[in-house]
Structure 1
């Protein structure tokens, strides 16, 4: 049995007066009116030799950053650098804790005691195992 195609409702959907007020921005292929105007103005200024077309020294490199690029640079790149920094600090903390746990887990092995643990400045003396002379078979 074939179901008939769905027909839209003849009444508007309910919108609460307490909910968010969504407005869709009209666009053509993703370009809004303000974006097209800005694009055309920038193209006109560059072609006419307008003072705005001359590159400004941005960040000491002679690069020209528009407002949108500057916003993207400060919000996205700086947040990524901070995210990488804090992720590295967090990973380093977990790695140090795991390394110390593994070291003390294997602290009963004589080779690890002699090569690693006895060379720790404050705790090294606790891992020195001396055999009592009466227990020495030789």
Structure 2
């Protein structure tokens, strides 16, 4: 028996892009830093929260391109001339990406107490019922 790919299943017409989306999501290269939460704040809204202690808002950038929310952080290394006996707080850059469904809009971003909150809203499409006329051939 031949195994069908998701995008080629006969009942899923027009979903070829879904398989590419899953592959793209798997390749985002997200590592475990910085840690984050995703919460549903209402029936149609979400909040992504990243723990970005030590970063200022000018160290962070948030962009959306091709339905991908990209959050990047880059700190300036100010350790020159300082001697650390222990350095457990890393000043490293990061890139965290999230693939957004069609109709998900990025709202505001808020920085408070070392946490970056990014609010998302899912637009609910209107229900459309279309009647197709059957013509005689």
Question: TM-score over 0.5 for the alignment?
Answer: no
Higher relative contact order (CA 8 A, sep 6+): 2
The structure richer in strand per residue is 2
TM-score, length basis structure 2: 0.20
* TM-score calculated relative to the size of structure 1: 0.20
More helix by share: 1
Which is greater in Rg? Answer: 1
